[in-house]
Amino acid sequence: MQADYVIVGAGSAGCAMAYRLAEAGKSVLVIEHGGTDAGPFIQMPGALSYPMNMKRYDWGYLSEPEPHLGNRRLVCPRGKVIGGSSSINGMVYVRGHARDYDHWRDQGCDGWGYADVLPYFKRMENWHDGGHGGDAGWRGTDGPLHVSRGRRDNPLVRAFVEAGKQAGYPETHDYNGHQQEGFGPFEMTVHKGQRWSAANAYLKPALKRDNCDIIRGFVSRVVIEEGRAVGVEVLVKGRKEVVRAHAEVILAASSINSPKILMLSGIGPAAHLAAHGIPVVADRAGVGQNLQDHLELYIQMAASQPVSLYKYWNLFGKAWVGARWLLNKSGPGASNQFESCGFIRSGAGVDYPDIQYHFLPIAVRYDGKAAAEGHGFQAHVGPMRSPSRGAVTLRSADPADDPVIRFNYMSEAQDWEDFRKCIRLTREIFAQDAFAPYVSHEIQPGAAVESDDALDDFIREHAESAYHPCGTCKMGRASDPMAVVDPVGRVIGVEGLRVADSSLFPRITNGNLNAPSIMVGEKIADAVLGRSPLPPENAEPWMHPDWAQSQR
Catalytic positions, please?
468
Q: Pick from 459, 388, 383, 387: which is nearest to 425 by CA?
A: 383
Residue 223's H or E segment, with its range, is: strand 218-225
For 455-494, give the DSSP string. Answer: HHHHHHHH-EE-S--B-TT-B--TT-TT--B-TT-BBTT-
Q: What is the DSSP letter of 201?
A: I
User: Any known ligand binding at 90?
Assistant: yes
| Residues in contact with 255: Cβ distance below 8 Å, sequence separation at least 6, in sequence order | 291, 392, 469, 470, 471, 472, 473, 501, 502, 503
Phi, psi angles (nearest 5°) of residue 359? -100, 140
- The distance from CA 424 to its chain's CA centroid, rounded to whole angstroms, is 26
Count Cβ neighbours within 10 Å for each residue of 456-484 and write b for 16 or more, e otherwise.
eebbbeebbbbbbbbbbbbbbeeebeebb
Q: Residues 310, 315, 319, 322: is their CA dihedral positive or negative?
A: positive
Q: Indicate the SS3 state at residue 397.
A: coil
| Residues in contact with 91: Cβ distance below 8 Å, sequence separation at least 6, in sequence order | 45, 48, 188, 189, 190, 195, 196, 336, 338, 514
Phi, psi angles (nearest 5°) of residue 229? -75, 125
| Residues in contact with 530: Cβ distance below 8 Å, sequence separation at least 6, in sequence order | none
User: Any known ligand binding at 81?
Assistant: yes
> How long a stretch of residues is the chain?
552
CB of 375 closer than 8 Å to CB of 360: no
Q: What is the CA radius of gyration of the chain?
A: 22
* Strands 267-268 and 282-283, sheet pairing: parallel
CB of 149 closer than 8 Å to CB of 131: no
Burial class (CB in 10 A: 0-12, 13-18, 19+), 545: exposed
Terminal Cα-to-Cα distance of the chain (whole angstroms): 57
Phi, psi angles (nearest 5°) of residue 495? -85, 150
User: Any known ligand binding at 91?
Assistant: yes
Cα separation, 362 vs 317, in Å, equals 14
Cα separation, 510 vs 522, in Å, equals 20
Residue list, annotated binding site for FAD: 81, 89-92, 219
Instruction: Mark the binding-site residues, compressed into ranges.
Output: 81, 89-92, 219
